[in-house]
Amino acid sequence: NAGVTQTPKFQVLKTGQSMTLQCAQDMNHEYMSWYRQDPGMGLRLIHYSVGAGITDQGEVPNGYNVSRSTTEDFPLRLLSAAPSQTSVYFCASSPFSGGAQETQYFGPGTRLLVL
Amino acid sequence: AQSVAQPEDQVNVAEGNPLTVKCTYSVSGNPYLFWYVQYPNRGLQFLLKYITGDNLVKGSYGFEAEFNKSQTSFHLKKPSALVSDSALYFCAVRAPREAGTYKYIFGTGTRLKVLA
C-alpha cells in the first residue's frame, strides 16, 4: 500500500491564483481530512469527509473547497490564493470505525507559498 | 465545542529522565484521544490512542498515556527519555459519533527537547 499520497510537495503561487492540492489513499478509508500547520497554531482542520459524496467544514474552511467523488481521492481547492494561506497542508485518512482500527494516517504534506 | 489544550510550548528533559507532555481536552461524551509525533520536515506519525478500556494505554517507542476522566487529561509519558525522542508532539480529540460531529481537533503542539 502507498498509504496517503499528496501532490505537489511544494508550490509557489501568486496572490489570486487558484490551484488544487491532490490527496489519495489506497486503504479504503471512509474518513479523509485536510489540515494546515502553521507555527504556534498546531494543526487546524480545514474540511473533512466521512465518505464519498459527504463533506463538511472544519475550523478554518474559508477560501477552500473540497469534494469527494470517490473513496480514494479528496482534493483541496484554493479558489483565490492569499498570502495568509501560506502554510504546510496535510491530508489524512482513517477507518473511522470508533474501534481498535481507528487511527489517522497522514500524508507527507504540501508546502505552499503564496506571494 | 471540542477543544484540546497543550499548555507547554516546549518541554526540556535530560536524557534518561522521565518525561511528561501534558494534554487536557473538552468534548461532549466519551472522548477518543490520540497522540501523534512529528519529526523535523516529516509528516505526523501515530503514537497511541484511548478509545475505551484501561485508562493507561501503551504505544510506540515506549510511550504511554493515562486517561483521567475527572481531570479531562491525557498526558503523554515515558519512563526514560532518549535524545531521539526530540520532536513535536500533538494531542488530538474526537467526540463519539452520537455527539453529531466527526472532527478530529488537534492541540497546538509541544516541542520536546531531550538533552544529552
- What's the Cα-to-Cα distance from B105 to each of A10, A18, A68, B90, rounded to whole Å? 25, 27, 21, 10
Q: Which residues of B touch A58 (CB under 8 A)?
A: 103
Q: Is the pLDDT of residue A103 over 90?
A: no
CA–CA min distance B34, chain A (Å) = 8
Q: Are B110 and B8 in contact (CB under 8 A)?
A: yes
Instruction: Copy the grid coordinates of residue A70.
Output: 470517490
Of chain B, the percentage scoring pLDDT greater than 90 comes to 75
Q: Is the pLDDT of residue A102 over 90?
A: no
Which pLDDT value is given to residue A41?
A: 84
Residues A15, A102: Cα–Cα separation, whole Å: 38
Mean pLDDT of chain A: 93
Least CB–CB distance from B108: residue in A41, A96, A104: A41
Q: What would the pLDDT profile of A43-53 be if each residue is shown by its tens digit?
A: 999 999 999 99
Per-residue model confidence as pLDDT tens for chain B (116 residues): 789 999 999 999 999 999 999 999 998 888 899 999 999 878 899 999 998 888 999 999 999 999 999 999 999 999 999 999 999 999 999 887 766 778 889 999 999 999 99
The closest of A9, A63, A10, A55 to A32, measured between CA atoms, is A55
3-class DSSP state of A37 = strand
3-class DSSP state of B77 = strand
Residues A37, B108: Cα–Cα separation, whole Å: 9
Q: Are A85 and A19 in contact (CB under 8 A)?
A: no
Q: Are B76 and B47 in contact (CB under 8 A)?
A: yes
Of chain A, the percentage scoring pLDDT greater than 90 comes to 85
Q: What would the pLDDT profile of A57-98 be if each residue is shown by its tens digit?
A: 999 999 999 999 999 999 999 999 999 999 999 999 998 766
Contact between chains at B97 and A98 (C-beta distance less than 8 A):
yes
A42 touches chain B (CB under 8 A): yes
Q: Are B92 and B26 in contact (CB under 8 A)?
A: no
